[in-house]
Amino acid sequence: MALKKEFKIIIGFILLVFLQSVVDILAQNKQTEQPNVEVRPFTDLTLEIVLPEQILLSLQPIPIVIKQSNKTNQPTMGYRKILFGFTPIGMYVRKIGDNGRVAIGNQSPLSILAYFINTQVAPGTSSETKGLIAIGLNRYFPEPGIYEIRAALSNDDGTQLIESNKVSIEIKMPTGANLAAYNLIKNSSLQDYMFSGMRFNQAEDILNTITLMHPNTPYGKQSAFLLGESYFDLKRYPQALSNLN
């Protein structure tokens, strides 16, 4: 039954995003292009990444903000809106001291259903999206240390690519109550998905345990928020309110 409810929620979300995409595309098509004005290529856009927090604990989801901007004085081909999972955003990570970088795998399982289209982006305009790196944290940030993260954005046919600035984040090994919560996640078979919202029916019990036993840790707060969101989607409103409070 829980799987059926989760499936209905995912399908509903897909339909909502699809309808929004249709509206956006129609709006783009109605835009009046300026005659005799040179439109600059996609690669003239600027991509920036920001980390709201620079120090986090192992297996703690990493919040990120990515911004596409047209800093030129002419229209540029790009995206009217960028959105994690529905725009071709890629991310890369490199541990300081290591050679090469690793591509961070897809953080949204719905991105394969997305439909991209480029349009003219007016001078001085920008689009910003916020998200979490929450899948595969144990693989991409396997040990304490300083890591360098970079984002990339490709155009709608994948022939052009822009890369962002580099940002650094320090991953620390938890101690005390944080360590106890960390061990619950680390020893679970769901550590790669714990805070992603995926496989919620399997992760629910562990998330509740972390919330109840370690409420004042970063893991406890993240667990409570995810439980609240998930219960709200499942229309289990008293539980949602309890966790969100």
Q: What pLDDT does 200 receive?
A: 85
Strands 161-172 and 119-121: unpaired
Whose CA is closest to 230, among 192, 210, 203, 190? 203
Of 108 and 157, which is predicted with more confidence?
A: 157
109 residue type, one letter: P
| Per-residue pLDDT at 77 | 96
pLDDT higher than threshold 90 for residue 107: no
| Helix or strand run (H / E) with residue 153 | strand 145-154
In this structure, the strands spanning 126-133 and 119-121 are unpaired
- Whole-angstrom distance, CA of residue 231 vs CA of residue 104: 28
Tens digits of per-residue pLDDT, 188-219?
A: 998 998 998 888 889 899 999 999 999 999 99
22, pLDDT greater than 70: no
Phi, psi of 215 (to 5 degrees): -65, -25
β-strand partners of 126: 69
Residue 55 has pLDDT above 60, yes or no: yes
The single-letter code of the amino acid at 196 is: S
Region 217-243 average pLDDT: 88
